[in-house]
Structure 1
Amino acid sequence: MTDARDALTRAHREEWSRVVATLAKRFGSLDIAEEAAAEAFAVAAERWPADGIPPSPGAWLSTTATRKAIDRLRREGVGEARQREALLVHDPHPAPVGAIDDDRLRLIFTCCHPALSVEARVALTLRMVGGLSVPEIARAFLVQDTTMGARITRAKAKIAAARIPYRVPAREDLPRRVDAVLTVLFLIFNEGYLASSADAGPVRAELTGEALRMARLLHTLLPHDGEVAGLLALMLLIEARRDARVSSAGELVPLGEQDRGVWDARLIAEGHALVRERLASGVAPGRHQLLAAINAVHTDGETTDWTQVVALYDQLVRLDPSPIVRLNRAVALGERDGAASALSEFDALEPELSGYHAYQAARAALLVRVGRLAEARDAYDAAIATTANRAEIAYLARRRDDL
């Protein structure tokens, strides 16, 4: 039974976006594609543990999803021509793939249509391509589950109402969609870097690996785009630290406590080379390039140069004054100038981030350093209450109990 569940997990990771892409192309509807894929995986979750794993899990899921889509079309009373089209499961003359020769990356670019708002594009693509649940996507955007569900529903409705074609964009269309694509890839990577679901492991290597793979493909496709190179460098430098991020006891290990000897030197060297290449270009860096530069400082030598990190965050805040960026700058400020100076920055962020676990965890650590232990305990409790990651909860609980 465990083998069947593991196989379903692997199939979900490997087949979800392919099934959705195939069905959306065949039936011309992302809504039908998602519903049919979800039904197929639900059937698999029920049958595989009892009946055993099919010889070809991916083909089983694809065939089952296609039948579910056809059943829905018949229930809705579509014409015979549409049904005949739906029954063409094996197309001997598939359409050319266009500029992007990769199923998942093509699907991302297709969903990131400029007629949708950037937030709608990103949310829809995370659902369709990454297979992330609505609650996982909602946590990435720091909004309620119902808000995110409505946003995704509206995006699919707009695609249907405006008859936005489901097709691979031409090469000249790619630059207009690349910003949203970069956001999607980073959010998929981020969900793997620190899983937001209690049902997943603390780190989801399949998500970070897939996001990194697609970032490499995107860099090959757009080699002169500085933000694409920046995102790839950022992912490489974060992924290099993956094996040091969770202890043998199952606790999250903060950057300053990690064993740098465990870091992947090959990935760090590759990331640093990309950062240097962008600096040498003489072009003003964008958001992802600055984040990559910050992580390059973190991975350069035995200690972090916090003065340099704060200077880079100062540049980033001018480009992106979001609460998360300002929070990270405040953390760096606390390392450079001391906890007391950073706490005033935290107080200013409290109205926007009080329900965000990373804010409460970082604030608790600063409060400990200035001796305000009762407040630190309350902040640790708030952080624990707003995260589901098991490794993070274990670390925060120990820090709280040490008080």
Structure 2
Amino acid sequence: MNAIADIADVAERYVKLVLAMGQHDASYVDAYYGPPDWQAEATAQQLTLADLATKAQAALAYLPSRDGLPQELALRALNLSKQLLALLARVEMLQGNQLGFDEESARLYDAVSPHHERAYYADLVTEIDALLPGAGTVSERVNTFRAQLIIPADKLRAVMDAAIRAGRERSLQHIALPEEEDFVLEFVSDKPWSGYNWYKGNYQSVIQINTDLPVYIDRAVDLGCHEAYPGHHVYNVLLERDLVRGKGWVEYCIYPLYSPQSLIAEGTANYGIELSFTDEERLAFEQQVLYPLAGLEPALAPRYAQLNRLLAKLSYADNDIARQYLQGTLTREEALEWLVNVRLYPAEKSAQRLQFYDAMGAYVINYNLGQDMAKAYVERQGNTRAAHWAAFRDLMSSPRVPSDLLT
């Protein structure tokens, strides 16, 4: 048995199966830049969901044992196994099998988020209450304060350009990228997400920012790093250069959204924000560059940064609300109330967030749990910022799977 050839065979089968799944689920294939005839074949064949399950199980059975394989090959085989198992779970879901939130996240994303009761978040809300004293609910005060920090529509492109440029400069100090890599920035509306990277292959991305709701000044760095540098754009460029072109690993020419790859992608994209900017560096950059570009009052920056650090600690409320809402233990009205008074979202964003849960299910865990898993893994690899960048870069261009980040 030639393990290398067998894994390569399964990789090709996997790509074709993901393309075939895309015929049943329009959002399943997030990016593809492999052979065009494989896409045409998937369109022409129109495999049934039952066919897909049978073929995925056969591909899994054909994978060689990882025992005795070199580490890189073993990781590649493990990654293909996890991705195929996630595809099978998605087939079941499309066939009408309703998975519980934790089972869905385990089978699709290879991870399960911790559970917290509402009382867990109460002390954090109390801290925010103390930071922003006054009349009205904590949520009302948070959103009144944040209303001063909306980027005007006519300033949004300049602010986003500056934030992305800063992220790129910091990334290039640690990660070499192809000279031809580039992106197009677009502003869109009527979406359930705030930002998106559509990777097109050949080291090119289309980055979209949703303008349905106000874009606050802190989102410039968040979105710039997450969607572009050192986040999704860099991640996809590295996969294409190092794995698809460099090693001939065809499985990385396609990205199925509902798969363990998403936890790595979203987790590294979120961790890349704090890797690019320490709290002090970010405050200085926003106060000295972004606030003036947006025409906002720079004196508000320190207090807003403090507020955002506290709000970030509430992020797991998103997972707890989504889990209870999707499993029916919170009604729509109760979920909205949690989002406003626990997560401290404005009412309009809370409604948009429910749209996201409805559309994406357990995908929400990939952002905060993924970030924490990526951070813990990267920071175990060394004690310096340079070591963290090196481990981060290696993680983004490796076949490592989410559960493997725990060891």
TM-score by length of 2: 0.25
Give the number of the structure whose residues are more often helix, by fraction: 1
Decide which structure has greater strand share: 2
Structure whose CA Rg is larger: 1
TM value normalised by structure 1: 0.25
Q: Higher relative contact order at CA 8 Å, sep ≥6: structure 1 or structure 2?
A: 2
